[in-house]
């Protein structure tokens, strides 16, 4: 009994020790799980920070590139200033040479004047001698004249009265001859004295001018050096101030954008930007003005008491670009949404507006100049730049799909291209699948092998998660911006061929279709294995030239039929917007192919931005006003706060 009691006691102690060990092990497991969750959370935060750091690095490089451009411009300005200074010095040198030539001519003229004055002085001296002699012999000549007259009077008393008169006339002429020569000699002497005085003044002026010109020539190199030095200091100070102001402006703009996007995220509505196109007619006044960064005004003529007056109609949006705003400024305002797609958010950017308002230019323009690229290609370049800079922590995979909606029918823009035949895959939705692993569902949706010989019908379906997927749509992997441009070029060639078969031009075909360009971003954290599923979607809506009720649509031809379908889809979109604004329980997304495809963006947890493009021409004022009214309604559509989509390779959410 005693041995059994001891054995029972030892067994109880062993069981107690086992329970303690199990409790300790459970505590350690809980602690390990806690610290593992903390490590995964920290790693995820570090990944987000690295993504932001990579994005900031890309932005910093862009700023440095801009600064280098400004420095090159400053250097060019310095070269221009130096060339201007050189030309000015050259002009001064030419002026000095001309002044020297003028001095030489003045010296020659002065020598001539001196010779002339010397001859006049000699003549003056001779005249003075003659004048002196005339003054000395004048009394003797008068006395001799009187004596001769008296003698003649006595000797010829008996002569007739005509003889004495004749003799008196001759004597009078002899008396007046020296009297006429004396005033002429005096006048010539005074003229010579005046010329002598004037020559002395010219000589003095010449000496002063010669001295001044010589001093200017001596001072010219020193003044040119001082001028160039002052201009250099002014340019250096101006460049330093410009750099400081640009850095401050970049910080302020980044802070303002961050705060605005945070406010827009919390607001949970569609973000609406507006971009008016400059007028196509030079010399005419725009009917659209931008008073501030968030207000646009349309100047409409209205009749008041029989007098036509221009009345402005104002619209307020989240941001309004001026008409002369370049492409890269527009992209900088939506750049944060591109970064959000890399972090696992769904982003949809729609471009809306009338014909000839710049929608295709804003969205799809491709250019070698980074400042002139459209939003789509700028976003592609930015995505791959950030992905390259964070490649040590994240493994990124990107897939591209391109879809067109024409006559309420879906058209795959990639199918039939060389890239699709080489590496394309068809999206295949298995709605009956009940697997719990989300990543396996993603693989099932994109794992259907591409085969051009067995085309699949495009259908809009919902997968197990409730996301809208186009069954049978071609998806191609992209590894660089060049891949995207190659696929786009090939799809545009096929698109032009299809339009030619329908006897339509490229602009007519594009004007009757809605285009969807989607990039699916799958980013895996190498350290934790956590994967984020992002989506960046660009939608170019058909021109909103006229939105009429569906009951008024009448088909009278092929082009009219296409326009009717466009009007139907845009009217349905208008109905969806009204229903969302009024919080109607049943929203008619399925009434149109366009709204069915936009269901995830307008109803799910996505970040949605609409860019409204309008015309500034007087002839388009009615359509401009209607487009702005629709954009104002779109700004009030609630879409909720966006959430990040993540999944784990282990099959559980972190």
139's tokens: 């009394």
Helices (H) and strands (E) in the chain, counts: 13, 17
| Cα–Cα distance, 141 to 176 (Å, whole number) | 11
Measured CA to CA, the distance from residue 334 to residue 610 in angstroms comes to 11
Strand spans (E) along 428-494: 448-449, 459-462, 468-471, 474-478
- What is residue 450's predicted lDDT score, i.e. its pLDDT? 46
Is 61's pLDDT higher than 80? no
How many angstroms from the chain centroid is the CA of residue 231? Answer: 29
Torsion angle in degrees (nearest 10) through CA of 540, 353, 409, 603 = 70
Distance between alpha carbon 169 and the CA centroid of its chain, in Å?
107
Which tens digit of pLDDT belongs to each residue from 221-232?
777 777 777 777
CA distance 396 to 524: 6
- Give 125 or 508, the one with higher predicted confidence: 125
What is the chain's Cα-based Rg?
Answer: 50
Digit-coded pLDDT (tens) for 178-231: 444 455 555 666 676 777 777 777 777 777 777 777 777 777 777 777 777 777
CA 539 to chain centre: 24
- From residue 355, alpha-carbon distances to 274, 281, 358, 615, 620 in Å are 15, 16, 8, 8, 9
CB 128 within 8 A of CB 189: yes
353: left (phi over 0), alpha (psi -120 to 50) or beta: left
Report the alpha-carbon distance of residue 168 to residue 149 in Å, rounded: 8
CB-count exposure of residue 654 (10 Å: 0-12, 13-18, 19+): middle
**Most confident range, picked from 107-111, 561-565, 646-650:** 107-111
**pTM of the prediction?**
0.64
Q: Is the pLDDT of residue 175 over 60?
A: no
What pLDDT sits at residue 436? 43
Residue 115 or 320, more confident: 320
Given this model, what pLDDT does residue 584 score? 87
C-beta of residue 246 within 8 angstroms of C-beta of residue 583? no
Length of the chain: 654
Nearest Cα to 536, choosing from 478, 575, 595? Answer: 478
Give tens-digit pLDDT for 583-596. Answer: 888 889 999 999 99
* Residue 587 main-chain phi, psi, to 5 deg: -100, 130
CA distance 631 to 353: 9
CA 557 to chain CA centroid, nearest Å: 43
What confidence tens digit (pLDDT) does each residue in 404-459 have?
Answer: 998 888 989 998 888 888 888 887 766 554 444 444 344 344 444 444 434 568 88
User: Of the given ranges (19-28, 95-104, 479-488), which has the lowest mean pLDDT?
Assistant: 95-104
Q: Give the pLDDT confidence of 140-161 residue by residue, as tens digits.
A: 545 555 455 545 554 544 444 4
Q: Could you give the count of Cα atoms lying within 13 Å of 161 in the half-sphere of its Cβ?
A: 0
pLDDT digits (tens, 9 = 90+) for 68-82: 777 777 777 777 877
Residue-wise pLDDT for 277-318, tens only, equals: 988 876 666 788 898 888 999 988 776 666 667 788 899 999
| Tens-place pLDDT, residues 386-402 | 999 888 888 999 999 99
Query: What SS3 class is residue 158?
Result: coil
Euclidean distance between CA atoms 158 and 448, whole angstroms: 167
Strand partners, 307: 304
**Among 105-119, 559-573, 623-637, the range of highest mean pLDDT:** 623-637
Greater model confidence, 161 or 363: 363
Tell me what pLDDT residue 447 has.
42
* Range name among 318-332, 517-531, 547-561, 589-603 with the lowest pLDDT average: 547-561
Q: Does residue 54 contact residue 391 with C-beta atoms inside 8 Å?
A: no
φ, ψ of residue 436 in degrees (nearest 5): -90, -25
Distance, CA of 484 to CA of 519 (rounded, Å): 10
Share of the chain above pLDDT 90, in %: 20
Contact 299, 336 (CB under 8 A): no
| Banded model confidence at residue 477, pLDDT cuts 50, 70, 90 | very high
The predicted model gives 550-576 an average pLDDT of 64
The DSSP secondary-structure symbol of 269 reads B
Choose from 453-462, 539-548, 578-587 the range with maximum mean pLDDT.
Answer: 578-587
Q: Which residue has the higher pLDDT, 520 or 561?
A: 520
Mean pLDDT of the chain: 77
CA dist list (Å): 254 to 67, 194, 260, 294, 341: 17, 83, 10, 17, 19
Q: What is the largest CA-CA distance in the chain?
A: 221
What is the per-residue pLDDT across 233-286, written as a single tens digit (0 to 9) for each?
Answer: 787 888 788 878 877 777 777 777 677 767 777 777 899 999 999 888 766 667
Two tokens at 356? 């000839």
C-beta separation of 402 from 516 below 8 A: yes
- Label residue 99 by pLDDT band (50, 70, 90): confident
């Amino acid at each position: 009994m005693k041995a059994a009691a001891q054995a029972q006691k030892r067994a109880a102690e062993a069981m107690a020790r086992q329970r303690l060990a199990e409790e300790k092990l459970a505590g350690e497991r809980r602690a390990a799980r806690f610290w593992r969750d903390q490590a995964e959370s920290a790693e995820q935060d570090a990944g987000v920070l690295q993504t932001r750091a990579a994005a900031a690095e890309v932005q910093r490089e862009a700023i440095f590139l801009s600064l280098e451009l400004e420095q090159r411009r400053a250097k060019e300005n310095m070269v221009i200033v130096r060339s201007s200074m050189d030309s000015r010095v050259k002009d001064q040198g030419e002026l000095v040479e001309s002044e020297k030539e003028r001095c030489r001519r003045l010296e020659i003229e002065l020598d001539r004047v001196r010779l002339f004055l010397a001859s006049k002085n000699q003549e003056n001296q001779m005249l003075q001698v003659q004048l002196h002699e005339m003054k000395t012999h004048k009394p003797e000549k008068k006395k001799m004249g009187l004596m001769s007259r008296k003698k003649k009077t006595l000797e010829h008393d008996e002569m007739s009265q005509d003889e004495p008169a004749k003799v008196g006339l001759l004597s009078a002429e002899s008396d007046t001859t020296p009297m006429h020569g004396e005033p002429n000699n005096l006048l010539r002497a005074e003229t010579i004295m005046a010329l002598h005085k004037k020559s002395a003044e010219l000589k003095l002026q010449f000496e002063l001018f010669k001295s001044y010109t010589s001093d200017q020539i001596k001072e010219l190199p020193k003044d040119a050096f001082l001028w160039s030095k002052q201009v250099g200091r002014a340019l250096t100070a101006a460049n330093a101030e410009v750099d400081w102001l640009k850095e401050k402006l970049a910080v302020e703009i980044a802070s303002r954008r961050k705060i605005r996007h945070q406010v827009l995220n919390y607001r949970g509505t569609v973000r609406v930007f507006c971009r008016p196109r400059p007028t196509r007619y030079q010399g005419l006044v725009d009917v659209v003005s931008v008073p501030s960064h968030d207000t646009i005004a349309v100047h409409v003529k209205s009749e008041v008491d029989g007098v036509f007056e221009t009345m402005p109609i104002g619209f307020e949006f989240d941001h309004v670009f001026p008409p002369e705003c370049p492409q890269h400024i527009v992209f900088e305002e939506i750049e944060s949404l591109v970064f959000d797609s890399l972090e696992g958010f769904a982003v949809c950017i729609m471009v809306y507006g009338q014909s000839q308002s710049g929608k295709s230019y804003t969205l799809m323009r491709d250019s070698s100049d980074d400042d002139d690229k459209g939003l789509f290609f700028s976003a592609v370049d930015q995505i791959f730049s950030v992905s390259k800079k964070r490649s040590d922590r994240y493994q990124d995979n990107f897939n591209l799909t391109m879809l067109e909606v024409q006559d309420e029918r879906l058209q795959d823009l990639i199918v039939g291209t060389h890239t699709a035949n080489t590496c394309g895959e068809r999206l295949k939705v298995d709605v009956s699948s009940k697997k719990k692993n989300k990543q396996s569902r993603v693989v099932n949706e994109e794992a259907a092998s591409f085969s051009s010989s067995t085309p699949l019908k495009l259908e809009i379906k919902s997968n197990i998660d409730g996301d809208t997927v186009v069954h049978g749509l071609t998806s191609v992997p992209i590894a660089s911006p060049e891949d995207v441009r190659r696929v786009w070029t090939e799809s545009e060639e096929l698109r032009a061929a299809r339009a030619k078969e329908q006897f339509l031009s490229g602009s007519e075909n594009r004007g009757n279709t809605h285009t969807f360009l989607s990039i699916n971003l799958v980013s895996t954290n190498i350290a934790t294995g956590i994967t984020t599923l992002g989506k960046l979607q660009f939608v170019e809506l058909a021109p909103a030239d006229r939105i009429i009720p569906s009951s008024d649509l009448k088909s009278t031809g092929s082009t009219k039929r296409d326009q009717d379908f466009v009007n139907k889809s845009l009217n349905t979109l208008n109905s969806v917007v009204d229903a969302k604004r009024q919080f109607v329980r049943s929203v008619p997304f399925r009434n149109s192919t366009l709204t069915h495809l936009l269901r995830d963006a307008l109803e799910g947890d996505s970040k949605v931005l609409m860019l409204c493009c309008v015309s500034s021409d007087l002839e388009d004022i009615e359509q401009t006003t209607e487009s702005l009214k629709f954009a104002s309604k779109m700004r009030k559509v609630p879409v909720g706060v966006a959430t990040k989509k993540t999944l784990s390779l282990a099959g559980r959410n972190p």
